[in-house]
Structure 1
Amino acid sequence: MSTSSKATWGLLPEDILIMLKNKHWQNSRNLKSLLSGGDSFPLVVPLKPPRGNAAIQNIGHFQNFISSWKSFSQDSINGADQERGDPKSKGCKVIWEKRNFRSLAEQDVPTHLNISDIGSLACMLGSDEELQLQDWLTKIRYIFESLPSQLNSHKASSQEGSSYYGNSDQQLFQVLIDHLETLNSFEQDDLELLVKLLPQLQKGMGQGCYLRALPVTFVDTKFIEKNLRIIESVACALLDGGVRNTGLMAWLDCKEKPKDWLLVKPLCDESRSKLGGLPLLRLSSDTLQDFELPARNILVIENEQCCLALSNIPNTIAVSGGGKNVSWMKAGWLVDKNVGYWGDIDSEGLAILSDVRSRLSTITPLMMDEVTVKTFAERMVQESDSVSRDPIALTDNELALFKRLRSGYFANKRLEQERLPLEYVTQHIRDWIE
């Protein structure tokens, strides 16, 4: 155990190094604040000198405390005398004060360590931090120097940036610091792509296409997709502050990539023929809001596996796999269809049914009733109480079933739709369409 660990006062240089790394360098928020400049420096670090009788009660630690900081100060003086240009020598200064202690002569005691700038901090922490800082600043300098002059014409009137970058555009500098993690991961090729891309970006240039179809040269659109957040922030700083309000995708007039693909299965030959003979399709929610499916009966099923098991249902197309994603069911074309919904019988399944009905009031629930629960009660399983509030769009009977499931009225709380026999399911669906 080190001497310093035995006392609550008298921090040694090695204690300070650990504290500075943990508090400032390895803490992303604090590090970005320091890199941004402003009022962060100088850092004033208390060394916790002893008070009262503490020094004489642990004289060994007191002597180590004094000698360690004298050695630290001497190393700095020697470094400055050798004119090495070492930030540790010029930017880290130990503050000493004269203190009187009982049974001891007047002593010069170190009270604080002043660190003047980010470079001095990095140098004090070690070579890894020095190299990391230099890498960040080199990348930032490259971006500034490589951008076309028309993007930087406003720099002359901007505020002074970080002391390590001089009179550069502070807004752009701050953006790059805010995205330090991305900047840290960039190789030289990534930096080149960034500075080649920015002059090409124009409001509305996407003309309603997907991002991958954006008409840019030299830069692959996968790079844009992968680094959308930093590109958006830099575009806001250099091109148009309105990007902040709309987001880069809307500013470019690009459509978002579909994220919620639904399984569409025609359940009869006639419907399959109208869909080009395809037995299965994947369509996004956005597409389904505008694309009318060519069948009289639309069966919405929570689980894809249950959908795949169905066939030979006249004039019917099934849509499945959406789970809680039922936003597409506000589509206007559904109003003129016979629409059924079949999901799990549990609190969450009934909550989804409520969401469905709030979008399409004419929906017909299938096999989501107490009769089905009682018929197959032995197949029920437990469910965690994931829905805490009563759904607002259930019928009286559905709400009563919801409450009974939640209260433990039945042996268990969940009857999964996969647990129902296929013949039972098929018969109820045929009864619904007929």
Structure 2
Amino acid sequence: MPADRIHTGTTKTDFAARYSLLAKPPYVRLRYLGNQLGPFSEVTVRANEFTVPPPGIRTVFVLENEITYLSLPDVPGAMAILGAGYAAALLRYLPWLVSIDLRYWGDIDTHGFAILSQVRRHFPHTRSLLMDRSTLLTHKAHWGEEKAQTAEQPMHLTPDEEELEGDLRSGAYGLHLRLEQERIPMRTVARVIAEP
């Protein structure tokens, strides 16, 4: 390939951009938590075509874990988006989220807080869900280990979130502690998401 067609400023892992090739479009997987629109309760759409919120949607929950995404109870006027990893990269295609009640629920570990911070960089009004000290301490029987903490220092956390993230990083409750979101009982989840 001629040297002028190779974009050396891109990362080596972004093969398509490096060689001016078309990349696979990003997709958004979503579930309606109240009344479904049309015949489907769950759909996957191209992110660049998802330019306006579905009618009647007032709240969007972003979750990283497929089990919790599929298990969320009915919430009128709400939908869930599966983030599946670092959700901020996906959500940037959905600028209409600025006018929606946006809630992020990730694991209580350093990666979960890093993702929350990245989402807030694009959408500062984002509220975390079940990512607080009380949730962590109430579910001690379900604690696990975060194999490798992220080196990223989250810049967009509330003071309480920042303090908890620091405690996780320093090992205040145990080395590499984490509480995965799927370990929290659904009755607790249902109670919390019903709150305004």
Per the shorter chain, which TM-score range? 0.7 to 0.9
Please say if residues 301 and 320 of structure 1, whose CA atoms lie closer than 8 Å, have aligned partners that are also in contact: yes
- State the 1:332 CA deviation: 2.3
Counterparts of 1:321 and 1:332, CA distance in 2: 16
Please say if residues 301 and 343 of structure 1, whose CA atoms lie closer than 8 Å, have aligned partners that are also in contact: yes
**Does 2:192 match 1:428?**
yes
Shift in alpha-carbon separation, 1:328–1:291, aligned structure 2, 3 A: farther
Structure with the largest fraction of helix: 1
Counterparts of 1:389 and 1:268, CA distance in 2: 36
Please say if residues 285 and 327 of structure 1, whose CA atoms lie closer than 8 Å, have aligned partners that are also in contact: no
* Counterpart residue identity of residue 427, structure 1: R
Alignment match, 2:66: 304
Alignment match, 2:179: 415
Larger radius of gyration: 1
Please say if residues 377 and 411 of structure 1, whose CA atoms lie closer than 8 Å, have aligned partners that are also in contact: no
Alignment match, 2:85: 323
Counterparts of 2:151 and 2:4, CA distance in 1: 40
* Counterpart residue identity of residue 54, structure 2: L
Counterparts of 2:83 and 2:91, CA distance in 1: 13
Over aligned residue pairs, what C-alpha RMSD do you find? 2.1
Please say if residues 313 and 430 of structure 1, whose CA atoms lie closer than 8 Å, have aligned partners that are also in contact: yes
Alignment match, 1:278: 40
- Which deviations, in whole Å up to 9, do the C-alpha atoms of 1:384-407 show, x marking residues without a partner? 232124211112111110111122
Please say if residues 262 and 285 of structure 1, whose CA atoms lie closer than 8 Å, have aligned partners that are also in contact: yes
Alignment match, 1:157: none
* Counterpart residue identity of residue 187, structure 2: E
Alignment match, 2:54: 293
Alignment match, 2:33: 267
- State the 1:242 CA deviation: 5.6
- State the 1:282 CA deviation: 1.5
Alignment match, 1:155: none
Counterparts of 1:284 and 1:306, CA distance in 2: 22
- Which deviations, in whole Å up to 9, do the C-alpha atoms of 1:17-51 show, x marking residues without a partner? xxxxxxxxxxxxxxxxxxxxxxxxxxxxxxxxxxx
Alignment match, 1:394: 157
Please say if residues 83 and 90 of structure 2, whose CA atoms lie closer than 8 Å, have aligned partners that are also in contact: no
Counterparts of 1:309 and 1:372, CA distance in 2: 19
In the alignment, structure 1 segments of 5+ residues that lack a partner are 1-232, 250-254
- Which deviations, in whole Å up to 9, do the C-alpha atoms of 1:224-283 show, x marking residues without a partner? xxxxxxxxx2xx4xxxx864458443xxxxx5322x4432000111xx12xx22111123
Counterparts of 1:362 and 1:351, CA distance in 2: 16
- State the 1:284 CA deviation: 3.8
Alignment match, 1:366: 129
SS in 1 for 2:114: helix
* Counterpart residue identity of residue 31, structure 2: K
Please say if residues 114 and 152 of structure 2, whose CA atoms lie closer than 8 Å, have aligned partners that are also in contact: no
Please say if residues 377 and 410 of structure 1, whose CA atoms lie closer than 8 Å, have aligned partners that are also in contact: no
Using the size of structure 1 for normalisation, the TM-score is: 0.40
Query: What is the aligned-residue identity percentage?
Result: 31
Aligned residue pairs: how many? Answer: 183
Shift in alpha-carbon separation, 1:323–1:284, aligned structure 2, 3 A: farther
- State the 1:328 CA deviation: 3.3
Runs of 4 or more above 6 Å deviation:
none
* Counterpart residue identity of residue 278, structure 1: F
Using the size of structure 2 for normalisation, the TM-score is: 0.84
Shift in alpha-carbon separation, 1:286–1:322, aligned structure 2, 3 A: farther
